[in-house]
Amino acid sequence: MKFTQPLPTVTDHVRRFCISCQTETVTMIGSTPPYTWSCSRCNTVCDRVLSFGMNTILSKSSDDTLWHESVAVFVFNDDRKILCFERTEYPIGKLTIPAGHAENDKSLEASALMELEEEVGIADVALSLIDSEPLHESCGWGIDDHLWHVYRTSVPSSTTVVLNDEGVNPMWLTAEEILLRNPVFGLEHFTRKHLDLFH
């Protein structure tokens, strides 16, 4: 996503721009996920909206491309299986692992720990960084490029998993099983890249 206007001033509320005409003329349709967005200027209806003013780390490169930074955690159990679930938000239904945007006022590791606790209810674990790589991958907030920071951790197989409203159907899968189950782009990329490490 290229955005040629100056980045909007951060306010105390999220500012939303049409993904097509990049004007602040969108309204949300529906009150529960999955949301769609409608533009009163160009009549585009879309499942994504360009959003500013959140705590997410956002930058703009010299060619006006917008970037988010994101974190993800591969959680292994005693059987060397990885904790996954299905998304209820964009991209809906795809398999994912605990992941989300990195936040301005936290370290990357603290952002990863926060996602882990929020999305699957796992806390008090040690993370180790296994990769950092930029990927061309879109998110529901209208950005098409993300710098990913990928961590791993281990938990006992008896660990209780508690999903929040961003996910359903928690499951423990081998790396090979992940690749057969419609993973989000980043999960597929990092699983293939680290197959040797994940055995």
Contacts to Zn ion by CB under 5 A: 18, 20-21, 39, 41-42, 44, 68, 139, 141, 143
The tokens 């299986």 sit on which residue?
Answer: 81
Distance CA 101, CA 67 (A): 11
Please tell me the distance from the alpha carbon of residue 21 to that of residue 135, in angstroms, as a whole number.
Answer: 24
Q: Which is nearer to Zn ion, 5 or 160 (CB)?
A: 5
Query: Nearer to Zn ion by C-beta: 3 or 198?
Result: 3
The nearest distance, CB 174 to Zn ion, in angstroms, is 28
Q: Which of 132, 125, 110, 113 is nearest to 77 (CA)?
A: 125
Task: Retrieve residue 106's tokens.
Answer: 């936290």
Nearer to Zn ion, 25 or 77 (CB): 25
Report in angstroms how near the CB of residue 49 gets to Zn ion at its nearest: 10
Distance CA 71, CA 115 (A): 8
CA distance 44 to 19: 8
Nearer to Zn ion, 127 or 143 (CB): 143
CB of 121 to Zn ion, least distance (A): 23
| Distance in Å, CB of 45 to Zn ion, minimum | 10
